[in-house]
Each structure stands twice: as structure tokens, then as C-alpha cells.
Amino acid sequence: MIRRLALAVLGVFVLGCQNSAPAGDEEGASAADSSGGDTTANAPTSGTTGDASEARYTYYRDTKAILDKHCAICHRPGDVAPFSLETGEEAQMFAGLLAPAIEAGTMPPWPPSSECNSYEHDRSLPAADRELLLAWIDEGAAIGDPADAPPAGPAAPTIAWDLDMPLPEPYAATAAPDDYRCFVLDWPEDQLKYVIGFDVAPDVRPIVHHAIAFLIPPSGVPTYKNLDAADDGPGYSCFGSPGGGGFSQQWLGAWAPGTQPSLDEKRGIPVQPGSAIVLQMHYHPMAAGGPADQTRLKLKLADSVEVPLHVIPFTNPNWLSGDTMKIPAGEPRTVHEFEVDLTGFLGDFFPQAGVKNGEPFVLHDVSLHMHTRGRRASLELDRAGADDVCALYIPDWDFSWQGGYKLREPLTVQPGDRLRLTCEWDNSAANQPIEGGVQVDPVDLFWGEGTGDEMCLSILTISPVH
């Protein structure tokens, strides 16, 4: 749906471009002219200096590096974004469309608020780059001289993956615009291993919107094999979580376009022989029955690690049943909040994590999970006798851009500290999903795994204090 909107906007822009050379606006006129292929005095293509009419900023000299790093990783041919920003001509042609998205902070997509905490692999646009891009667009998006192009940055380090696991069979999406499908991947190792590196290699890039890998312990594997067997075709239909009820599954990692491969030699998630992985794919095709996708999950393994990690769900257990997490139909703002001193019972609930009751633990990665009516969510640490710490705040929840965030500085949670999870939903008529081309009517929402249900959950990667 979002993509269609973007394309509609794009259509209007391109149409507008063909017949509008804004009168009396020299900069606008030069951009429109040169996007048509003409060379004008205002769009210098030679490296001459000292000409008063020359643009202060040019693509090659000033903005190529920013666009390459922050935009073209998705905006390139065959990738998930609807148009390419890989060349100066493309960037110039779409310049008028870029400013609103840059100003609104919606592009590049990076959901966490930077005022809350800082994370590895932060994809947001630094303020100086943002200002430079906007100034370049504002003064006509000149292309400039290719000789000014920045040197190519260092190539991303290649990781020698130990496991390269394709979906068991290619799958052609059977629903549009959203198809959520889970695939069970057998775990091939026969010794305990730690997952220290994670990546997803999408196959049909334009339609793979996100992928979440869940680790299923050996005792849970039959449940998921049965779900798979009960559904026709490769994998099985699922939404939000891999189904199967309960919390026996652990998050192993999440991927959305732009996510960089992660590798940390010191920390890893233990996987027992006999486990399985359920890879949940969110396909976002324009139409059903497109090319079949066979995305691959890539993992780096180690026999031992300094810091064994464990991933746990954090939520109010009462929300899972009854009407305690009711989100009334038509309500534009419903908030549910839960806080607790987790150190009191971690040992009872998650003995595998190796943290005994009453002991501190370290919080490494954080994420939040709601469904499509979610508006915003946060995870905070209410420190006993000290200032609160914000761990993660997603001010504008978008189900399609979920991710896990690695704290630059892990947080130690002491006995007496309380973790607070807050979720807000908009269940008004205007914020309902479109199903079969029709916007559904609001109904009371409760906790559940379907598209017509909601969740409020934080996923925490923790370790004992070392």
C-alpha cells in the first residue's frame, strides 16, 4: 500500500516535471532544463571555478557520497525502493521529490529516536549531511564535474559464512500487497554452536520487505513441522510471529532492506543440535503470482564465545489472555504500559539465560514489536534511585520497518531497576489496513497472532554480568 502511494506520488512528480519550468525561478528552471539533457550555464559540467552563476554545491563534489551511503543502498535498480538514486542524473531528476522525505525524516528509514539512545549500524542521516542535501536540492541539484567524485570508500568486509541456508523451496507470493510466510529450516549442526554473525540475502529483492529468524529449540520443532505440513505449498502462512503459541521460540535476528550483516566474535546465541529455524518472510508484491523467491539466511558460527547471549520476550503475561490489553474500536489513542523488576524472576522463567534470581544482567540488543495499528512504543529502564534511561523509542511505528538494535553501550540492569514497556495504538477508522482493496472496519483488538490482533512486546538480548 505504501509503495503504491509512493509510486502515485512519483507519477505526479514525473508528470509535473515534463511541463513545469517554474517561471521566474532560475534555479528551478536550470534543474528542469538539465534533467532534460540540456547543458546550461547554471548546471556546470566542467570544473571551472569563480563563475558567479556556478552552483555552490554539486552532486559529484558534495552529495554523491551522501546519496551513495544513505540512499542508493536501497534506491538502486532491482532493489526494494521504487526509483534509483545511483547516478547524478537520477538524483537530479528526482531531486524535487527528495526534499519532503528528507525534511520529514522518513528517508532513510531508521525508526529509533536518536534522542533515546545510540545503536550500532545507525542508518539515519547526520544533521550536516541532511542540511547539505537540502541546500543542494534547493539551489537546483547541479551535477557538476565527474572529476570531483569522491574516492570509492573501502569495500565492505566480506564475511565467510558457515551456514548459507536457502528457503527449502522457492515460493511465489499468493497474496498482494502483503504475504507473510514462514519457512522451517533444519539445523544442520550436531554439536552446540553459537551464532555470532547474521545476514539475510533476499532473492527477489523488490518484494522482500522484511525477514525475521526465530530459533526453535528441539522440543518445539514438531509443532512447526506440523504447521508447515498442514498448509499447502512451501512453508505456511503466519503473521507477526511464527505461530505455535507460547514463547518457546527465540528471536535470532531481524532483517529489513538496508540492514548490514552483523558479526561479533565475542558474543553469540547458543543453538542446540536438533533445533530448527523458522524464517518469517514479509513479501510486499504489487501482485500475487510474481517470480518465486528463495531468500537465503547466512550465519557465522563459533564453538565458544566470551559472552553467551540469550534472547527473551518481555511483556505483561496478563495481556496474552482475556481482555487486559483491550484496544477499543474507533479509539485514536490507547496506551498500555507494564513495568517490573525483571531480576526478580529471570532465573525461574528463562533458566537457559544463566542469570539467577536477584542477580544483575546486561542488556545488549533491544527491539519492539506491535502489529499494524501500533502508533509508537518505548522501552525504558527506571533505575532505582537514579535517572531513568531510555533504551529504545520508536516514535512512529511502522510494521514494515521492524528491526533489532544493538546498544552502543550495553546497559546493566540491577536488582531494584524496573523495565517499562509502553505501547500506543491508533484504532480509529482511518488507521485500518486495506484487505482485498477495502479498508476494514475497526473492531476491538486484543493480543493475538493474526492480522486482526495486536501485540506489545519487547525483545531483549541479555547476558549474565561478566
Residue 466 burial by Cβ neighbours in a 10 Å radius (0-12, 13-18, 19+) = exposed
Nearest to 266 by CA among 213, 356, 194: 194
Dihedral sign for Cα atoms in the order 37, 39, 43, 45:
positive
Contacts (Cβ under 8 Å, ≥6 apart) of 232: none
Residue with cell 529504545: 392
From the list 258, 268, 313, 403, which residue makes contact with ligand HEC (rule: CB under 6 A)?
A: 258
**211 binding ligand HEC? (CB under 6 A):** no
Contact string 158-197 vs ligand HEC (x = CB under 6 A): ----------------------------------------
Q: Which position among 65, 125, 363, 379 is part of the footprint of ligand HEC (CB under 6 A)?
A: 125
Q: Which DSSP letter does residue 232 get?
A: S
State the nearest-atom distance from the C-beta of 86 to ligand HEC, in Å: 12
User: C-beta of 9: minimal distance to ligand HEC in Å?
Assistant: 6
Which stretch, 93-101, 113-121, 342-350, 361-369, contacts ligand HEC (CB under 6 A)?
A: 93-101
Residue number with CB closer to ligand HEC (6 or 302): 6
Q: Name the minimum Å distance from CB 7 to ligand HEC.
A: 8
Calculate the alpha carbon distances from 435 to 178, 306, 340 in Å: 9, 48, 37
Q: How far apart are the first and last CA of the chain?
A: 47
Other beta carbons within 10 angstroms of residue 351's beta carbon come to 11
Which positions ≥6 away from 140 have C-beta within 8 Å?
Answer: 26, 27, 28, 30, 31, 42, 43, 55
Among 55, 73, 204, 269, binds ligand HEC (CB under 6 A): 73
Burial class (CB in 10 A: 0-12, 13-18, 19+), 321: exposed
Give the separation between CA 340 and CA 420, rounded to whole angstroms.
7
| 9 versus 301: smaller Cβ distance to ligand HEC | 9
Q: Which of the ranges 28-36, 105-113, 337-345, 378-386 carries the binding residues for ligand HEC, by CB under 6 A?
A: 105-113
**Residue 98 CB, nearest approach to ligand HEC (Å):** 4
Q: Which of 32, 61, 36 is nearest to 136 (CA)?
A: 61
Residues 6+ apart with CB under 8 A from 466: 306, 307, 362
Q: Note whether 109 binds ligand HEC by CB under 6 A.
A: yes
Check: CB of residue 406 under 8 Å from CB of residue 267.
no
Q: Does 96 bind ligand HEC (CB under 6 A)?
A: no
Q: Does 206 bind ligand HEC (CB under 6 A)?
A: no
Supply the minimum distance, in Å, between the C-beta of residue 108 and ligand HEC: 3
Q: What secondary structure letter does DSSP report for 327?
A: B
Give the range of 71-79, 227-235, 238-246, 388-396 binding ligand HEC by CB under 6 A: 71-79
Q: Report how far residue 238's alpha carbon sits from residue 228's, in angstroms, rounded to the nearest whole number.
A: 10
Contact flag: residue 282 with ligand HEC (CB under 6 A): no
Question: Are 428 and 349 within 8 A, CB to CB?
Answer: no
Q: Is residue 74 at the binding interface for ligand HEC, with CB under 6 A as the rule?
A: yes
Q: Examine residue 204 and tell whether it contacts ligand HEC (CB under 6 A).
A: no
Kindly tell me which of 45 and 124 has the beta carbon lying closer to ligand HEC.
124
Pick one of 31, 43, 58, 70: the residue that binds ligand HEC (CB under 6 A). Answer: 70
Stretch that binds ligand HEC, among 66-74, 222-230, 337-345, 380-388 (CB under 6 A): 66-74
**Does 98 interact with ligand HEC (rule: CB under 6 A)?**
yes
Q: Dihedral of the CA atoms 438, 442, 448, 451 (nearest 10)? A: 10
Please report how close the Cβ of residue 206 comes to ligand HEC at its closest, in angstroms: 9
| Least spacing, CB of residue 110 vs ligand HEC, in Å | 8
The β-bridge relationship of strands 307-308 and 208-216 is: unpaired
Question: What is the spatial distance between Cα 233 and Cα 246, in angstroms, rounded to a whole number?
Answer: 25
Stretch that binds ligand HEC, among 36-44, 97-105, 183-191, 423-431 (CB under 6 A): 97-105
Regarding 108 and contact with ligand HEC (CB under 6 A), the answer is yes
Q: Which positions touch ligand HEC (CB under 6 A)?
A: 2-3, 6, 9, 70-71, 73-75, 80-82, 97-98, 101-102, 106-109, 125, 257-258
